[in-house]
Amino acid sequence: MTFGERLRSIRKKRGLSLNDLAKILNVAPITVSRWERDQREPDLETLQKLSEILDVSIDYLLGKRNVKIATSLSDGDLSDLPEEAIKSIEDFIDFVRKKYGKK
């Protein structure tokens, strides 16, 4: 999965429109669209903001890890768990977000 595909997928999973994300980042919607179509890449500062807004690791966004590991959870807290267990935790967090309306 490319950076753009990951970005689009997690943005939608968080219930944000392309325009919403652009507004939060203070960029033009076309900029987000270009990232999602892999025509451009955000700078490091924007990548950090994306990670915080979408609550995923930068490594996940860049495709270096297949698990999202929310930035609200320290990598060290989960480092002793297998990738499958971390994925289960992430799925549960997504379930709770949907159930209680947190995006």
Per-residue confidence band for 71, with pLDDT thresholds at 50, 70 and 90: very low
| More confidently predicted of 88 and 69 | 88
**6 pLDDT more than 70:** yes
Q: Where are the domains of the chain?
A: 3-100
Average pLDDT over residues 2-25: 94
Give the residue from 42, 43, 61 showing the smallest Cα distance to 51.
61
Considering the segment(s) 3-100 as one domain, its CATH architecture is: Orthogonal Bundle (1.10)
